[in-house]
Amino acid sequence: MICSMNQRLVWVKINKNQYLSRRFSHHPLGMKEPMATRGKHVAQLDLLLMPLLACDHYGTRIGMGGGYYDRTLASAKHKPYRLGLAHQFQFIEHTLERQSWDQPLDGLLTPQHFYYFKR
């Protein structure tokens, strides 16, 4: 995944040779990302694994604070299945406040359970 200049994410295929040649740049937030200029738009994906800090029983997700996934999904005509990966303690029982721009999860996978969220 890389972040384009418009603050939206695109996905690129990484092969073994890219890992060997270390063709990565540093994103302003500190993570490494492939040195590619183009990639697949989120609408071309079937499944999207989404990082999170917490998730409630409605699929409302607290991300990492940049809004990249929310902005990217908001512009997609077709949205892939949005699956959060988390530890069990990240699934919380109380309802999180959802903003109008928040993109909820379709499911959450923890080591103990799979949660499906109805739309």
DSSP 3-state percent helix, strand, coil across the chain (nearest 5): 15, 25, 55
- Domains of the chain from N-terminus onward: 1-40 (no CATH), 44-119 (3.40.50.10420)
pTM: predicted TM-score of the whole model, two decimal places: 0.76
Nearest to residue 42, comparing CAs of 5, 12, 86, 18? 12
Return per-residue pLDDT of the chain as tens, 119 residues: 444 545 566 666 666 666 566 667 776 666 666 666 667 778 888 999 998 999 999 999 998 877 888 988 988 889 999 999 999 999 999 999 999 989 999 999 999 999 999 87
Tell me, what's the pLDDT at 67? 84
* φ, ψ dihedrals at 44, nearest 5°: -90, -5
